[in-house]
Structures are given as structure tokens and as C-alpha cells.
Amino acid sequence: MQTVALGESELRSTRLIYGCMRAFGTWNRDEMTPDRRREAMSAFAAAVEAGYNHFDHADIYGHGECERVFGEFLAGNPGLRDRIIITTKCGIRWAGDGGPTAPHRYDFSPEWIERSCEGSLRRLGVETIDVYLLHRPDVLMNPDEVASVFDRLHASGKVRSFGVSNFTSSQTALLQSRLSRPLVCNQIEVHPLRLSPLEDGTVDDLYRLRITPTSWSPVAGGRLFGAPGDDPKLSQLVRVLDDEAHAHGVSRTAILMAWLLRHPSVILPIYGSRQPDRIRDAVAGEAVQLSRESWYRIYLAARGVALP
């Protein structure tokens, strides 16, 4: 795969990122069997073989087990660590974390960010996280405190670059105004069933600030692969996707990747299947050169209404 710069950093990511959230196929600890662990290892190996050099994690994925099994995968593949980018995220705390009455919440306090970083480093078995993201916006975020802890983590060599996830334009701008180095990415949900980031200024502002948009759930959580039922808008979108896929000789998955990759802001899809054939199949989207007309056919079908 081709590589592109992440924001204004020296890191160069493949145009598709492998998402590790579903590595186990479950978040139930009782179902995290040795067989599922081996399947996760096979998925990671398939991603490496398919050319992905960027792996996306979060401290909460599989309650930490996704990071842990990836650390085992790295340990079993000497030299791989130097060839890949590891992104992970922090800031989400479950109900009961910190006390029986503690609610589900987001926490960007310096203490929690540092504690979370140490935990991720330990589970991943690495000395440095390449890109460290704040997972979901904390309404109580103090940007000066976040800037201070980011500086400490960078100075200590524990984190190379920082980013955010699910941030609005104003939240991104506020945090960036206090930081000593530029944010490199904002991980957002954008796909044909969620067009708002393309229309509300979110992607425009990232493009303007040279912050890379990365797209979580680029296949809409599988909703574009289920039966449309009696939803005429979804049925039309699926028909257009399949028409374009047929015209380009690729799968619906690959066309969805190509649609995101066509945007000039350099949106990077985060694809997270556990099936090796699908991991390889998504990469075919990079080679598809969608015309402006093809891109707009999909966009208009997704909108469900004509342009003004």
C-alpha cells in the first residue's frame, strides 16, 4: 500500500489502517479462549501480509486484552515493531471504575492519562506509543492540563505524537491552541450512512489545519451488508455501491474504502475485520480510481435527496 504523512508528523501510515477493536470477536472475558486468541493472531498476521503498517487500538478494547494479545504478536515477530505505527486511545472509564458508585464517564485528567498510557505500554510490550489519542471528548477537559501531560509523555519518550477521536471542530481547535506540537489526527465516524462530518465543517477544518481524518467504522458497522428490508434509501445506496463495485471489478467493501480515499483531505479508513480474506479484500479499494461522477453517485444515493 501507499503511505501518507499523518498530519504534519514524520509518521507515514498506509492508506488503510487495521482496526484491532474486534480482534477477539467478543468483549466477554469468558469467551476469550485460546482459540479466539489464535484467531486474533491470524488476523494480525493477515493484516501485515496485506500491507497494513498502522494498527489502531484503545485501552478499553476487549478490556485491555486486544492490546495484550497484540503485544504477544509483536513479541513473536522480531523486527516488526520498527516497521509499524501503533495508535492507541485513552479517556473512557466504565461504571464502577474507581468506586461502586462511579458512573460511566470520560476522564482527561493528567493522572488518568498518564496511568492509562503506562497500562497500554505494559500490555503492548513496547517502550513508545506512536500516536496517542483522547478517545471521546471529556466535557471537563482542561486543555492546559492536557497540554502539560502531553509534554511530559513526549519528553519521556513514551509517546511520539498525539491526536483526538470523535472531537468536534471547536474541541479540536481549543485543545490545539494550548499544545506545543500539532495534533496529527482526529478519528471520526464518517461513511455513506454518516455524511455529517463532510457537511458540517468537521473534515474541512481538519483539512485546513493539516490534521489527518481517520474513519472508524468505514463500512457503517456492517449495516451496509445486511438486508435493506423496506428502507428504500438504503436499498438504493446498496444498488449504487454494487453497480460501482461491478464496474470496477471489486467488492462492495473495496468500493466503500475507495469512496473515502477519494476525498482530498486524505481520509484514512480504519478497517477491522477478523477474517483474513476480508482484510486482504479491503486493500483492493486503494487501487480504485473513482471518478467525480462515481463518487457523487454514491454520495447522492447516501443523501437520499438531490443537491439544491
| SS3 state at 111 | helix
Residue 234 lies in a domain: no
Residue 282 lies in a domain: yes
Residue 208 lies in a domain: yes
Residue 252 lies in a domain: no
Residue 227's pLDDT is 73
Q: What is the radius of gyration, based on Cα positions, of the chain?
A: 19
Tell which residue, 253, 262, 260, has the closest CA to residue 290.
262
Contact, 125 vs 81, CB < 8 A?
no
Contact, 308 vs 225, CB < 8 A?
no
User: Which residue among the candidates 18, 52, 61, 271 is catalytic per the annotation?
Assistant: 61
Q: What is the number of domains present in the chain?
A: 1
- Which H helix or E strand runs over 74? helix 65-75
Low-confidence ranges of the chain (pLDDT < 70): none
Residue 134 lies in a domain: yes
Tell which residue, 148, 195, 201, has the closest CA to residue 173.
201
Catalytic (active site) residue 299: no
Q: % helix / strand / coil in the chain, to the nearest 5?
A: 45, 15, 40
Tell which residue, 271, 226, 123, 108, has the closest CA to residue 175.
108
Range of the domain at 45: 3-223+263-289
Residue 308 lies in a domain: no
Taking the C-alpha atoms of residue 298 and residue 292, their distance in angstroms, rounded to an integer, is: 10
List the CATH number of the domain containing 285. Answer: 3.20.20.100
Residue 232 lies in a domain: no
Angle between the N-to-C axes of helices 252-261 and 292-303, in degrees from 0 to 180, rounded to the nearest 10: 100
Residue 292's pLDDT is 98
Count the helices and strands in the chain (H runs, E runs): 11, 12
Claim: this prediction has a pTM higher than 0.95: yes
pLDDT in tens, 96-138: 999 999 999 999 999 999 999 999 999 999 999 999 999 999 9
Residue 44 lies in a domain: yes
